[in-house]
Chains A and B, each alone.
Chain A
Amino acid sequence: MPAEADPTLAALSDQLILVAVLFYVVAMLGYALDLAFGRSSTRSSEAAAPAEEAAAVPAGAALATVGGGVTTAPEKDGDAGAAVTGDAGTGTDAPAGGRGPSPWVLRAGPAAVVLSWIGFALNLGSLLTRGLAAGRWPWGNMYEFVVAMCLAAMGAFLLMQLRYPIRFLGAFVSAAAALGLGFAVHSLHVETGPAMVALNSYWIAIHVSAAIIASGLFIVAGACGVIYLIRHDAAAHLPTREELERVAHRAIVIGFPIWTFAVIAGALWADKAWGRYWGWDPKEVWAFITWVVYAGYLHARATAGWKGKAAMAVQLVAFASLLFNLIGVNIFFEGLHSYAELPG
């Protein structure tokens, strides 16, 4: 492992991240336009919104009122099957607004998706160049970890929106990613270089990657949870609660086993590095709490009286403990996971 980092690559990495933030911000604006004024063809609602409400939305946003999760998006190949059946066979498209939205607004959504893919590529490039500069896996300190988490959140969203009609989440995920990257650049940035001795292990690739991927999925679920709770019943331009629940559940069902794996991989690494696989270090305590509360969410969804709002609240508690574990523990507690290398 080289003791000296490559300064050119390191500088390139720092510049790439700034451009990535820029793309995320513009993408966020695009998603916001799409959410507010677009016909939002990727949305479907279980219950038909009252026509007068829909008409009250500026620019006459039209609602696709379809049952059974059938969407009217021609580009959504995933729904070809549902179109065979439909719910009770009434898959009709009923635009409720008056005028259609102006054409450039219609393009805001797809354009935002393209912009976020570019931002994602830049974000990835920044992480790769940073890793190459130091000659190691690029998640050796807090700055790199937060950058990787933003990448994972954006990646989870972009991949999920290929399959599910969740473009509405874009505004929230890109805002979170832009803020996260901004926070990382502004207050966590440290010069790249060799990682601490304890991190010189192939386990960093396994354990930290799994934790990052799971976190990305949990962020998508968390965004759904936040929208779920702030959403008014009248806010017709936001997706329905059922939809939000479904997307959050999907993300967690994928994320939870990955998180389980990340915790177990961490235990295996701890066994190699510290002489015990589990020692209730603050990071371990909070990883455990996060795991238990997400498990609680999965159980709550299957328990009468806990479905819906209560389950969503549980999910958000789990999400909060996840965030606390990823960021708070490194700052507030001193433990074996003190690899944060916070500046100053």
Chain B
Amino acid sequence: MTVTETPDTTAEARPAKLGAVGWARWFWRTLTSMRTALILLFLFALASVPGSIWPQRGVSDAKVAQYHTDSPALAEWLDRLWLFDVFKAPWFAAIYLLLFISLIGCVLPRTAAHLRELRRKPPAAPRNLSRLPQHAVLDGDLTVEEAARRLRKLRFRVITGPGWAAGEKGYLRESGNLLFHVALLGLLISVGVGSLYGYRGNVLVVEGDGFANTVAAYDRYMPGTQVNAESLEPFSFTLEDFQATYIARGEKRGQALDYSARLAVSDRPGAAERTYELKVNEPLDVNGTLTYLIDHGYAPTFKITDGSGQVAFEGAVPCLVVQPATFASECVIKIPDARPRQLGLMIAFLPSAVPTQDGEWTSVFPGAANPAAQVYGAFAGDLGMKDGRPQSVYEIPAEILKKMTPLVMKADPLEVGRKLDLPGGAGSIEFTGVKEWMALQITHDPGRMPALLSAALATVALVFSLTIRRRRVWVRIGDGGAEAGGLTRAEGGDFGEEFARVVAALNHGPNDGAKNAR
């Protein structure tokens, strides 16, 4: 496989630089205002949109490359604007860093205020309770002490004075709100740690082959900037068998039912092998380094003899799936060692081959019911691999193909065990068998668990901050009887219902009060 990926160094965050003190103060005040935070929040959303419109590097690299081939001029401009790397772009980072600085600037003073608030006693009862949004006349002969006791039972924080009791509760609203924002900050840091100290790699493994977790073994390796190549978890495994089952009948014919790979895993060099059934949704975990099954396909095996009678190639060739519904695949074999001339072959692999009416061949089912390999192009000449330029193993570049001599165009498909002789004594190709390959993603992300904890904390805190309201209730007892008043400090919602329950509890004691309010 060809390695064209360079380590990704763009993800590091750069702090904003501040200038003169006065300017800084102005900037800080503006930045931490709610209005700015709101605008940044909307910018944050807006800035993500291009990330879904244009293909992104690291998500769909093939499409980015395709874009560069199809419209190079436009792609160059899009690249300049980081539109293929939106989420690593400096302008995107600028928005979220400003947003999070704004968030810190907002949360810090509020935390201080909330801590003061937590120590403060509820305010004394206002003179005229009937002016409050909620007001009720209490019946019975309630004393201040009894009112305070009943309010405390409802988990109000209570103080009393001459002829009145004041209660307040719902402090968890602000606590939850602050915690939510702090947890978001934790989430951002976790994601950052993960991208600096984690790595991700892809590898394709054919049945019977093995993999050892070293940088060199990857087809594509994407480390964070702080990852040491020596620190990779030293496990290895062999793909013993790959099984895929498909729906055989009906509208969904050909859709995969399930696929799984049987691995013989060795957790460290020299350790005993264990068998692991690798499936989608069931990754292999070796000390926090996870191996995922993300794709699969066919790798037919061939034995190719060159013009001099020597076996120039023998082994499996992974084919790329062209038609996912039938797994009709294509692959390329390059044999630079073939004599007298180098050979290049283009092969179509059809797992369930049937002839079509116009004399072509096609696959009708993804399972290997009638596997056939069709040589649709064999070329002799210079493969152009000496100039050191990396080439994809899945294609022969068109400009190189043009200079080579075509030997065969669209031969009849070969069954397993059959051989095709190349004209002009250039040699022969024998289709010897069918293997399957699996594509794996292997990741190590130390930010995973912190990110999960932050996210969980954020959700719980969010529920507190959205569902709890800060509310105050006062009871005043005078010659004219007892009365209660209440208000809620957060807007929205209907305090009336709860106030009625509080009134009922004050009238009858907390236990039957709850019943009577229904």
Residues of chain A having any CB pair with chain B under 8 Å = 1, 3-5, 68-70, 77-82, 84-85, 87, 89, 190-191, 193-194, 196-198, 200-201, 203, 246, 249-250, 253, 256-257, 260-261, 264, 267-269, 271-282, 285-286, 288-289, 292-293, 295-296, 298-303, 305-306, 314, 321, 329, 333-335
Contact = CB atoms under 8 A, between A and B. Distances in A.
Contact of B41 (A264, A282, A296, A329): A296
B466 A288 contact: no
Given A82-B496, A280-B87, A300 B38 contact: yes
Interface stretch (B325-333, B385-393, B457-465): B457-465
Contacts of B381: none
* Nearest 6 CB-CB pairings of A with B: A81-B500, A82-B496, A275-B292, A81-B497, A275-B441, A191-B251
A133 to B, nearest CB: 12
A265 B61 CA distance: 26
Nearest to A282: B52
Contact of B292 (A89, A273, A285, A306): A273
B59 A281 contact: yes
Given A282-B52, A296-B41, A296-B42, A85 B494 contact: no
A279 B51 CA distance: 11
B451 interface: yes
B164 interface: no
Given A82-B494, A275-B294, A256 B500 contact: no
18 contacts: A1-B257, A68-B496, A69-B496, A80-B517, A81-B517, A84-B500, A193-B251, A193-B252, A196-B255, A200-B258, A250-B492, A272-B281, A274-B441, A285-B52, A292-B42, A300-B38, A303-B38, A335-B60
Contacts of A5: 250
A85 B136 contact: yes
B4 interface: no
B448 A271 contact: yes
Contacts of B251: 190-191, 193
Contacts of A264: 452, 455-456, 459
Contact of B45 (A196, A203, A289, A333): A289
B42 to A, nearest CB: 6
Contact of A196 (B41, B60, B256, B442): B256
B501 interface: yes
B466 A201 contact: no
Contact of B290 (A78, A79, A80, A275): A275
A276 B281 contact: no
Contacts of B200: 275-276
Nearest to B501: A81
A81 B496 CA distance: 6
A314 B45 CA distance: 12
Nearest to B290: A275
A261 to B, nearest CB: 6
Contacts of A321: 45
B448 A279 contact: no
Nearest to A321: B45
Contact of A280 (B59, B255, B294): B59
Interface centre among A249, A269, A279, A292 (most CB of B within 10 A): A292
A242 B318 CA distance: 64
Interface in B494-509: 494, 496-501, 503
Given A257-B462, A271-B448, A85 B256 contact: no
B451 A280 contact: no
Contacts of A302: 34, 491
The A interface is mostly helix, strand or loop, or mixed, namely helix
B154 to A, nearest CB: 14
B134 to A, nearest CB: 5
Given A4-B249, A85-B500, 9 more contacts: A1-B257, A3-B247, A80-B497, A81-B496, A81-B497, A85-B135, A87-B133, A275-B292, A296-B45
A191 B251 CA distance: 7
A205 to B, nearest CB: 13
B455 A81 contact: no
B65 interface: no
B283 A272 contact: yes
A140 B448 CA distance: 27
A324 B40 CA distance: 22
Contacts of B448: 271, 277
A84 B136 contact: yes
Contacts of B455: 264, 267
A85 B459 CA distance: 35
A264 B282 CA distance: 19
Nearest to A310: B38
Contact of B500 (A82, A260, A276): A82
Interface string B229-259: 0000000000000000001111110011111
B290 A200 contact: no
B280 interface: yes
A338 B496 CA distance: 48
A274 B292 contact: yes
B458 A260 contact: yes
A256 to B, nearest CB: 7
A288 B184 CA distance: 13
A129 to B, nearest CB: 18
A270 B433 CA distance: 35
B305 interface: no
B301 interface: no
B40 to A, nearest CB: 10
Interface in B251-297: 251-252, 255-259, 280-283, 290, 292, 294
A203 B292 CA distance: 16
A95 to B, nearest CB: 23
Contacts of A196: 255-256
